[in-house]
Amino acid sequence: MLKIINRIILFIISFTLILMLIPDKYTISAAPADTQTAVNALVYGDCNNDGNIDALDFALLKQELMNKGDKYNKIMDLNQDNEVDAIDYSIMKQYLLGKVSKLPYNPTQPTTKWVGTWTAAQQLTEPANMPPSPGLANNTLRQIVHVSIGGNQLRLKFSNQYGSTPVNINSVHLALSTGGSSIQSGTDKALTFEGKETVTIPAGKTVISDVVNFSLHNLENIAVTIYFGSVPSALTGHPGSRTTSYIQTGNGVNKLSMPSAQPTEHWYIISGIDVLTDNSFQGIVALGDSITDGRGSTTNANNRWADNLSRRLRENSATSNISVLNQGIGGNAVFSGGLGPTALSRFQRDVLEQSGVRFLIVFEGVNDIGASSSVSVATNLINAYKEFITKAHSQNILVYGATITPFGGSQYDSSIHEQARETVNNWIRTSGQFDAVIDLDGAVKNPNNPTRLLSIYDSGDHLHLSPAGYARIAEAIDINLFTR
């Protein structure tokens, strides 16, 4: 008897609380128009079959859960999974609070996720690549970036990873680029950081903006304009932008054009852009050195091999949802020396922590070979590749190995270096360790002299490729690899 009394008291308390939760715009007798129907007709959620869905039906559903019988009540199965359970209870509550508009309701909606559409691998800016006068402190920097995939909601990343003191940002604006330092009127939007336009990035840290609604199309150029306060003497950036940026004295963050700005071919502080997409979208990281970074490509033409691959993916319906994130650093090495953090040391940041990555192309190692004096460099590279594969596979990332392209006639040309290159390429092709092999060596070598690039693909230094060479690399990649 005591148990029955306790149940009755619990029911009364629960029912009273539910009535208090229902907003004023909902009444006990009123139901949304799209669920009202004649009495005795089957209406999901109308547990007492009175033509309304209200708190009384909620109470009956609760009672059903507390005293489950053997009979399945289809009217109470609000998600149509052939079971009346706590999920249906939650759906009814959300319906009465106005957060679900129609019953039955399938809570399984297409999931959304962040996917990177543009990146720049960060490093400590060398003295020769620091901003020209007037500098960044208390001035405005407009940087142009070429995205891969589009979207309607974005977030931007800004890095002070190598700074010794904080970066103070007064304002950041985003707009469509119309060429040079100009932006399209009516597209300019201010970013916020936890609701504020100003943000301070501590030394060694990265910040991410609040989500911004912005109509961004595939392969579009956008301008990211930053009005700085104080900046550290050691700047974080990406020297090999192959794109012109603009430094304007004072606050010009929302100017339509900057005709008096100082141009510079470097990026600073900005490190990535993500778009909010559905779950079908995925990203490719291109991990590499100056050949991936685009040395030998045309400034402001976005004709690096990664750019060309992105265009190919966009043209194919089966891969139009795949982004390309260029994580090349000029002069970079895989395991020792070189410029910027080694590929091993930056792998976590530049691959595993990027948004929405499903594929990785490893195309790096020539600088390790070029700086070595022993063929044992090949063993070190192979061990590093194995580590990349293991780490990437642990996060369900497929890893494609690209063979090292020829460098005969360049500063790296020697019999030892060529022997190491051939050893590494043979392992990439035959070991079976990579999920697939992309034979870039075979695509651009001179068939009559395979230690050298074919002349049309040679930028002139016999190491880096020409725009035609970067186009050939993109053509040589089987885009069906990105439908897995």
Average pLDDT over residues 334-338: 97
What architecture is domain 281-484? 3-Layer(aba) Sandwich (3.40)
Residue 329: strand pairing partners: none
- In this prediction, residue 14 has a pLDDT band, given cuts at 50, 70 and 90, of low
Strands 398-402 and 436-438: parallel
Instruction: Evaluate the CA torsion angle 253, 256, 262, 267 in order and state its sign.
Output: positive
Q: Residue 111 has what pLDDT?
A: 75
- Tokens 């959620």 locate to 45
**pLDDT classification of 173: cutoffs 50, 70, 90:** very high
Report the percent of the chain where pLDDT is more than 90. Answer: 77
Q: Output the six-digit token pair for 58.
A: 């909620």
Q: What is the average per-residue pLDDT within 361-375?
A: 98
More confident residue, 70 or 32: 70
- Asked whether 444 and 405 are in contact (CB, 8 A), the reply is yes
Would you state the structure tokens that stand for residue 350, as one six-digit string?
A: 């530049």
Residues pairing with 179 in the sheet: 182
Q: What span, in angstroms and rounded, lies between the C-alpha atoms of 221 and 148?
A: 10
> For residues 85 and 425, which has the higher predicted lDDT (pLDDT)?
425
- Alpha-carbon distance of 376 to 397, in angstroms, equals 29
Alpha-carbon torsion angle 86, 91, 96, 102, nearest 10: -150
How much is the average pLDDT of 385-407? 98
108 burial (CB, 10 Å; 0-12 / 13-18 / 19+) is: exposed
* pLDDT recorded at residue 66: 74
Mean pLDDT of 137-148: 98
Write the pLDDT tens digit of every residue in 236-282. Answer: 999 999 999 999 999 999 999 999 999 999 999 999 999 999 999 99
- Statement: residue 464 has pLDDT above 60: yes
C-alpha to C-alpha distance for 357 and 107, rounded to whole angstroms: 26
Question: Quick one: pLDDT at residue 87?
Answer: 79
For all residues of the chain together, what is the average pLDDT?
90
Q: How confident is the model at residue 94 (pLDDT cuts 50, 70, 90)?
A: confident
Largest CA distance in the chain: 97
In the 8-state DSSP scheme, what is residue 214?
E
- What is the share, in percent, of the chain residues with pLDDT greater than 70? 90
pLDDT of residue 220 exceeding 80, the answer is yes
The answer to whether residue 52 scores a pLDDT higher than 50 is yes
Can you identify the CATH homologous superfamily of domain 2-96? Answer: Dockerin domain (1.10.1330.10)
